[in-house]
Amino acid sequence: MSANAFPPGFLFGAATSAYQIEGGWDADGKGPSIWDHFARLPGRIQRNHNGDVACNTYFDFATDIDIMRRLGLQAYRFSVAWARVLPLGRGAINEKGLDYYDRLVDALLAAGIKPFVTLFHWDLPLALQREMGGFDSRDCAAIFADYAEIVGRRLGDRVKQWITLNEPWVHATLGHLRGLHAPGRLNPWAYLRVIHHQLLGHGLAAAQLKGVHADAQVGISLNMGPVYPATDSEVDRAAAGLGDQFINRIFLDPLFRGQYPEPLWGRLRAFRPPVQPGDMETIAHPLDFVGINYYTRIHVRHAWYVPFVGFWPNDLPVVAGRVAPWRKNGYSQMGWEVYPAGLFELLFRMKQEYGNPAVYITENGAAFADTVSDDGRVHDPQRQQFLEQHTDMVSAAARAGVNVRGYFAWSLIDNFEWAYGYDKRFGIVYVDFATQRRIIKDSGYWYQSLIQGQAAGERSGAATEP
Ligand code: FCB
């Protein structure tokens, strides 16, 4: 492989999720989700924005597929709104909801774009939250798997790549522990329960998807970030080890090793849900691929006053009177440090520590304050540089023997960025939310040329050179 080339068959795509783009929140029999409800609570979302209309893709996906075709995308990752398919989360099926995804998949395939379907990207049917506390209840795992099977039966003849859950850590932590996302709970007991029940749901869903289509490839998308100590002190280094378990290994270890990470799991004894015989086997059923969502790295410091875990994230720019060394890097509009090397680090770790599974980068991108220039275009050099630097890291990881198979930019289009509403733009395509007009950003054109160059290289055999 030559420099900056990617392995043969490597897929370039972009990602979105249902609540963030679809709109049509109650169209054609869709039931309400926890996000429909949460976003209506005053003050929960910046400027009280919500996803009622979003990017309107429930009513028009053709425009965006056309754009994907122009950009040369080879794959598209989207999510299914559970409450569109099962308005109450279980029981009666809403055929019109399934029809929508059926048409979407057909249109993607007709454009030569491979669909990657996420089954749960946080928009749990509200009825399941009300009746059982959602994934706080063990019953939700089996209910999720049944929903996955229903979608699998309908789309599985054409969809081969499935992602059970998107960032179960974020749903557990921001949704149930910190109250910043739907369902808005602040319950310290919920963190591990919601994690365990989601993992169980993942394992059951994987088995049921393969039961209906033996050739289904099933993975999961995890938000991961390397965890660094704030200083070189021994206590901070120990804190970083625990922080890594709290964010990364809490999923990687059960999925790949069939056990929760120690010492964290022991320390959180008081919060642990009952793990029943067979659970860990269900969870550790071999994955066909793992999805990594990468945005930034994390710094933590020892904090004796934080019960049980004894660490805390360190966002302070100054440590011991000095500007912290990592502050010299750039930051995105989210306040997240731009740190491309972290992506290499995570990828290499999958090879070294977890048996080199197939990996897709299922999300990577950045928000910057984009505006439409007088020339009618959106010039976003920072995002372009972000994508360049991160795709370089992916290429370097592939050269280092990491089994990385594809890369999805987050996001195809600007969209509803959860608690931040519409002000944080992550798209490689700009959306004018008042008119629903799309403008391909400079970063989008850059991505197009990367994909074209790669495809040309593959045709001439460059990508297969040693
Ligand atoms: C991830 C989410 C995705 C998007 C990006 C910015 O955590 O999976 O929906 O909000 O962050």
Tell me the pLDDT band of 464, cut-offs 50, 70 and 90.
Answer: very low
Asked whether the bond before 449 is cis by omega within 30 degrees of 0, the reply is no
User: Could you tell me the pLDDT band of residue 323, with boundaries at 50, 70 and 90?
Assistant: low
Residue 324: predicted pLDDT = 57
Whole-number pLDDT of residue 47: 97
| Tokens found for residue 171 | 């749903």
Nearest-CA residue for ligand 1 atom 2 is 167
Compute, in angstroms, the gap from residue 172 CA to the centroid of ligand 1: 14
Tally of CA atoms within 13 A in the half-sphere of 106 that contains its CB? 7
Question: CB atoms < 10 A from the CB of 316, how many?
Answer: 11
The superfamily CATH assigns to domain 11-464 is Glycosidases (3.20.20.80)
Distance (Å, rounded) from C-alpha 188 to C-alpha 199?
A: 18
* Å from CA of 465 to ligand 1 middle: 36
How far, in Å, are 19, 94, 139, 259, 457 from residue 146 at the CA level? Answer: 21, 14, 11, 25, 43
**Atom number of ligand 1 nearest to Cα 426:** 6
385-391 contacts, C-beta under 8 A, 24 or more apart: 386/332, 386/338, 386/340, 386/443, 387/428, 387/443, 387/446, 387/447, 388/446, 389/338, 389/340, 390/294, 390/340, 390/343, 390/361, 390/364, 391/450
If phi > 0 it is left, if psi is from -120 to 50 it is alpha, else beta; for residue 52 that is alpha
Place of tokens 């795992």: 141
Residue 189 corresponds to which tokens in the numbers above?
Answer: 């007991």
Out of 35, 174, 293, mutate this one to test ligand 1's pocket (max ligand atoms within 8 Å of CB): namely 293
pLDDT at 455: 86
Phi, psi of 398 (to 5 degrees): -60, -40
Q: How confident is the model at residue 434 (pLDDT cuts 50, 70, 90)?
A: very high
Which atom of ligand 1 lies closest to the CA of 170? Answer: 7
From atom 9 of ligand 1, which residue's Cα is the shortest distance away? 17
User: Which residue among 22, 149, 167, 417 is the active-site one?
Assistant: 167
Average pLDDT over residues 74-99: 98
Nearest CA, atom 10, ligand 1: 417
Distance CA 400, CA 397 (A): 5
Section 79-97 average pLDDT: 98
Start-to-end Cα distance in the chain: 5
Residue type present at position 232 = D
Query: What pLDDT digit, counting tens, does each position of 193-237 carry?
Result: 999 999 999 999 999 999 999 999 999 999 999 999 999 999 999
pLDDT reported for residue 328: 56
CB contact set of 330 (below 8 Å; sequence gap of 6+): 337, 338, 382
- pLDDT tens digit string along 293-313? 999 999 999 999 998 899 998
- Please report the atom of ligand 1 found closest to the CA of residue 418: 10
- Measured from the CA of 365, which atom of ligand 1 is nearest? 6
Name the pTM for this structure: 0.96
Poorest-confidence range of 1-10, 156-165, 183-192?
1-10
Residue 167 designated active-site:
yes
* Percent over 90 (pLDDT), the chain: 90
What does the longest C-alpha to C-alpha distance in the chain come to?
A: 64
In this structure, the number of other CB atoms found within 10 A of the CB of residue 132 comes to 15
Give percent of the chain above pLDDT 70. 95
Instruction: Compute the distance between CA of residue 78 and CA of residue 82 in angstroms, rounded to an integer.
Output: 13
Q: What average pLDDT does this structure show over 415-426?
A: 98
394: CB partners within 8 A, 6+ apart: 6, 343, 347, 361, 404, 407
CA of 300 to the centre of ligand 1 (A): 22
Mean per-residue pLDDT, 96-114:
98
Query: Cα of 17 to ligand 1 centre, how many Å?
Result: 9
Annotated catalytic residue within 22, 149, 345, 363: 363
At 335, is the pLDDT very low, low, confident or very high (cuts 50, 70, 90)? confident
337 tagged catalytic: no
Task: Please give the structure tokens belonging to residue 313.
Answer: 């994230």
HSE toward the beta carbon, residue 13, CA cutoff 13 A: 26
Ligand 1 centroid – CA 321 distance (Å): 34
Binding pocket residue ranges, ligand 1, CB within 6 Å: 17, 20, 166-167, 170, 223, 293, 363, 410, 417-418, 426
Contact between 14 and 412 under an 8 Å Cβ cutoff? The reply is: yes
Position 327 scores a pLDDT of 56
Residue of 28, 149, 140, 159 lying closest to 94 (CA atoms): 28
DSSP readout, 244-288? HIIIIIHHHHHHHHSSPPTTHHHHTGGGPPPPPTTHHHHHTSPPS
Ligand 1 pocket test: which of 79, 164, 167 has the largest number of ligand atoms within 8 Å of its C-beta?
167
Ligand 1 centroid from CA 374, angstroms: 30
Q: Does the N-terminal peptide bond of residue 313 adopt cis geometry, omega within 30 degrees of 0?
A: no
For tokens 């996803």, name the residue.
51
What's the pLDDT score for residue 387?
98
For the cut 70, the answer to whether the pLDDT of residue 1 exceeds it is no
pLDDT tens-digit readout, 340-392: 999 999 999 999 999 999 999 999 999 999 999 999 999 999 999 999 999 99
pLDDT above 70 for 465: no
Question: What is the mean pLDDT of the segment spanning 321-346?
Answer: 80
Residue 121 C-alpha to ligand 1 middle, in angstroms? Answer: 9
- Flag whether pLDDT at 318 surpasses 80: no
Is the bond preceding residue 263 a cis peptide, omega within 30 degrees? yes
Q: What is the mean pLDDT of the chain?
A: 95
pLDDT at 244 over 50: yes
pLDDT > 90? residue 438? yes
Which ligand 1 atom sits closest to the C-alpha of 334? Answer: 6
Ranges of each domain in the chain: 11-464
Predicted confidence band at 458 (pLDDT cuts at 50, 70, 90)? confident
- Quick one: pLDDT band at residue 316, thresholds 50, 70, 90? low
Q: Supply the pLDDT for residue 460.
A: 81
| Cβ within 8 Å of residue 374, ≥6 positions away | none
In angstroms, rounded to a whole number, what is the distance separating the alpha carbons of residues 282 and 441?
A: 43
Distance from the alpha carbon of residue 108 to the mean position of ligand 1, in angstroms: 22
* Residue 331 scores a pLDDT above 80: yes
223 C-alpha to center of ligand 1: Å? Answer: 9
- Nearest-atom index, ligand 1, CA of 417: 10
442: tokens are 């400079």
Closest ligand 1 atom, CA of 223? 7
